[in-house]
Structures are given as structure tokens and as C-alpha cells.
Amino acid sequence: MFHRSSSGPGHRRHAQANPLRRATDRTRSRWIAAFVLSCVLAVVCGVEVGLTAVDNGLRAAAEQARHRHLVKATTIGEPAPHSSTRAGAVTTTARARWEFPSGTRHTSALPVLAGTPVGRTVTLWVDDNGAVASAPRTGATAASDAVAAGAGSAALIALASAGVVLLRLRLLQARNLAEWEHGWERVEPGWSGRLRHGREAGDD
């Protein structure tokens, strides 16, 4: 004779059910899964922020480079007596003159090496008006800033998610302890042999 198999969905659910698995255990598993998912989303958001930042940074660097010009100036004064050490070289300032745009002269104190004689040629960055300006940003700088922005965004999201999940797990732990103490109060008298309240030694 043939017997019907009892491997249907209901049987599988019954076989997989763990009587020792509490509702709080399932809740904890869901929160842990949510944290893992939030970490994945944090990485995705970080990459997106980084790509956007590097694109904007490269555009800004290219725009700035169009308005920065490297020109040559000539020192017209002795270096100042006060100096500072930078990267192993003693630097100071000296008056220098340059021309930019063509026919427009400028004079200002520029950083030079200590001991630079009058008439020495130095290079500097200027803007479209010929005023001293900072060097244009490079693609490497833009990429570095983009990596920092993406990593910071991902870390912020991950830390926020970790804080929320940790708080929820602490609450679950407190709930588990309270349930355990309540359950222990019910079974401890019988388990330990201690008489329950209102019962005598000969009571069944």
C-alpha cells in the first residue's frame, strides 16, 4: 500500500518551527538584517555622493584653470629679514614686479627663498586681472575630496543606522531579561523544591 507523503508546506513549516525561538529572537534577527541592509545602502549612497563630488570638482577645477595664469616676476627688493622654514627650505618674502595682462604692471611681496638676490625671476599664479592668486585645483585634489565626501556620507549613514539598531537591541535585551525573570518566578519554587506560598509540606 502507498502512504501519502506528509512533506507538504504545512509539514515543512512545522518541522522548521523552533519551539525555543522567541518572538524577540525573530525581532532581533530582523533588526540585524535591517542593519546589514542599511550598510549596503550606505555604501551605495557613498559611491553616488563620491561620483557626484568628483564630477563637480573636476568641472570646478577646469573652470578655475581657465582663469589662472602662470607668469614670471622679477624681484626688485632684498628679501625680508623674517623667514620661516618650510619643507626643509628657509623662505621669506621679497618685493617683485610682473606684467599681466600685457602692458599692466603689478608689484607685491612674494614668497622667495632666503638669500634670493634682486633681479631673480620667480613664478607665480595670477587671475585674469593679474592679481596674485592660488594655484588652480588639480584633478587629484578633486578626486581626493570626492573620496572623503563619499566615505563621510557612507560612515554617517552607517553610524546612524548602528545607533538605531543598537538602541532597539538593548530594548529587546531588557525585554528578554524581564520575561526570563517573570518565567523564573513561576518555575523556581517547583524546580528548587521550595514551598509555594499557601501550601504545606504534605500538600500534593
Going by pLDDT thresholds of 50, 70 and 90, the confidence category of residue 195 is low
Radius of gyration of the chain (CA): 37
Are residues 40 and 126 both part of a single domain?
no
Are residues 53 and 91 both part of a single domain?
no
Average pLDDT of the segment spanning 96-113: 93
At 19 the pLDDT is 52
Going by pLDDT thresholds of 50, 70 and 90, the confidence category of residue 88 is low
Average pLDDT of the segment spanning 165-174: 87
Range of the domain at 37: 23-63+140-186
Domain count of the fold of the chain: 2
Are residues 45 and 86 both part of a single domain?
no
At 80 the pLDDT is 87
Are residues 78 and 105 both part of a single domain?
yes
How far apart CA 163 and CA 176 sit, in angstroms, is: 20
Percent of the chain with pLDDT over 90: 55
Are residues 123 and 160 both part of a single domain?
no
Residue at 200 is within a domain: no
Are residues 124 and 73 both part of a single domain?
yes
Residue at 165 is within a domain: yes
Task: Using DSSP, state whether 92 is helix, strand or coil.
Answer: strand
Are residues 75 and 175 both part of a single domain?
no
- Ranges 13-17, 59-63, 88-92, 149-153: which has the least confidence: 13-17
Going by pLDDT thresholds of 50, 70 and 90, the confidence category of residue 91 is confident
Are residues 127 and 148 both part of a single domain?
no
C-alpha cell at 65: 584653470
Residue (of 67, 59, 182, 53) closest to 133 by Cα position: 67
Average pLDDT of the segment spanning 40-64: 94
The residue among 93, 111, 135 that closes a domain is 135
At 36 the pLDDT is 93
Residue at 123 is within a domain: yes
Are residues 76 and 117 both part of a single domain?
yes
Are residues 44 and 76 both part of a single domain?
no
Residue 102 is classified by DSSP as: T
Range of 30-34, 55-59, 86-90, 191-195 with top mean pLDDT? 55-59
Residue 135 is classified by DSSP as: P
Residue at 87 is within a domain: yes
Burial class (CB in 10 A: 0-12, 13-18, 19+), 73: buried
Average pLDDT of the segment spanning 45-68: 94
Are residues 80 and 173 both part of a single domain?
no
Are residues 53 and 92 both part of a single domain?
no
- Ranges 54-58, 97-101, 130-134, 180-184: which has the least confidence: 180-184
Residue (of 118, 117, 124, 115) closest to 76 by Cα position: 118
194 pLDDT higher than 80: no
Average pLDDT of the segment spanning 3-27: 55
Residue at 59 is within a domain: yes
- φ/ψ of 84, rounded to 5, equals -140, 155
Report the sign of the C-alpha dihedral through residues 44, 45, 46, 48, in that order: positive
Going by pLDDT thresholds of 50, 70 and 90, the confidence category of residue 126 is very high
168 pLDDT higher than 90: no
Query: For all residues of the chain together, what is the average pLDDT?
Result: 82
